[in-house]
Amino acid sequence: MRRTVAALLRKELLVELRTLESVPGMSLFAVTTFVVFHFALSRNTVEGDLGAGILWVTLLFAAILGVNRLFVADAEEGGFDGFLLAPVDRTALLVAKALTLLAYLLVLELIAVPAFALLLLGPPIGQALPELLGVLALGDLGVAAIGTLVAALAVRTRARDLLGPLLGLPLLVPVVIGGARATSPLFALSHPTAPAARWLLTLGLYDLVFGLIAYALFDFLLED
């Protein structure tokens, strides 16, 4: 299983490095969105609830871009058949794709969070950074699990670009709730405080449940 996941991951990252079709797009989209928000809200800085909300919504929509492209190369070219013919555990594909999406999200955040701090965020981000990274990591796990499941559902349908977001966004609302609520005290203007434990717990529970569900159901999407 681990060997298969490693082989798949290698292929994924190789294709992404060759085509650069996911990560640069996601990152550029996020930075552009921050600019759009500046004009849409007519504000130079944001903090607290508003800041947390803008960050999470932007990351979410950028993530959807990545989700949409996750299985496209397989569906169109290499074909799932190549993988399905191999004597391997099929759930390895889920794990490899989720890890790939996670990697994309981490790179996205590496670019988007500093951009956000630079362009829009009022309070300095320095001290809140470790907690912020923790919250982002928890959120990323949820997005990776659900994003992969939804991408697999949507890719072999006729309206794949539309169905991905339509299925994914409602499912990700609790992640946004947990993530934004956990982040807003970190962006408080006066004195930032740590995120409330209940939101971290919500995020963690959600990640766990949907990780397990994705694991249990993924095989049914692959076979015919």
Partner 1 sequence: MTALEVEGLARHYGEREALSGVSLSLDAGQTLAVFGPNGAGKTTLLRVLATLLRPHAGSVRVLGSTLPEQSWSVRGRIGLLGHEPLLYRELTARENLRFHARLHGVDEHRVDELLEAVAVSGRSREPLRTLSRGMVQRIAVARAVLHDPELLLLDEPYSNLDPAAVELVSPLIGAASGRTRVICSHDPAGGLAEADVVLGLRAGRPVLLSGASGVGGAEIAELYR
Partner 2 sequence: MYGKGLRALSISTVVAMTLALSLVFFYAPLDAEQGFLQKIFYVHVPLAIVALCGFIAGALLAIMHLRTRDPRWDLRSYVAIHMSLIFGVGALITGSIWAKGSWGHWWVWSEPTLVSFLIVFLLYATYQPLRFAIEDPERQSRYASVFAITAGAFVPLNFIAVRLSTAYLHPRVLGSTSNLPGSMALTFVVSLLAIALLFVTLCKFELTAKHTRAQIRALRRRLVGEMPDTLERRSRSAAPALSPGGAVGAHTASRTVL
- Given the rule CB under 8 A, which residues bind partner 1? 3-4, 6-7, 10-11, 14-15, 18-19, 73, 77-79, 81-88, 223-224
Among 157, 189, 193, 194, the residue binding partner 2 under the rule CB under 8 A is 157
Residue 157 contact partner, candidates partner 2, partner 1, none, CB within 5 to 8 A by sort of partner: partner 2
Other C-beta atoms closer than 10 Å to the C-beta of 27 total 20
Of residues 10 and 198, the one with the C-beta less far from partner 2:
198
Residue 40 contact partner, candidates partner 1, partner 2, none, CB within 5 to 8 A by sort of partner: none
Return d(Cα 144, Cα 207) in angstroms, integer: 9
Of residues 97 and 181, the one with the C-beta less far from partner 1:
97
Q: What are the structure tokens assigned to 138, written together? A: 């928890």
Of residues 1 and 209, the one with the C-beta less far from partner 2:
209
Residues 160-199, one symbol each (x = binds partner 2 by CB under 8 A, - = not), give x-xx--xx-xxx-xx--xx--x----------------xx
Among 66, 105, 206, 211, the residue binding partner 2 under the rule CB under 8 A is 206
Find the shortest distance in angstroms from Cβ 84 to partner 2: 14
**Interacting residue ranges for partner 2, rule: CB under 8 A:** 149, 153, 156-160, 162-163, 166-167, 169-171, 173-174, 177-178, 181, 198-199, 202, 205-206, 209-210, 213, 217, 220-221, 224
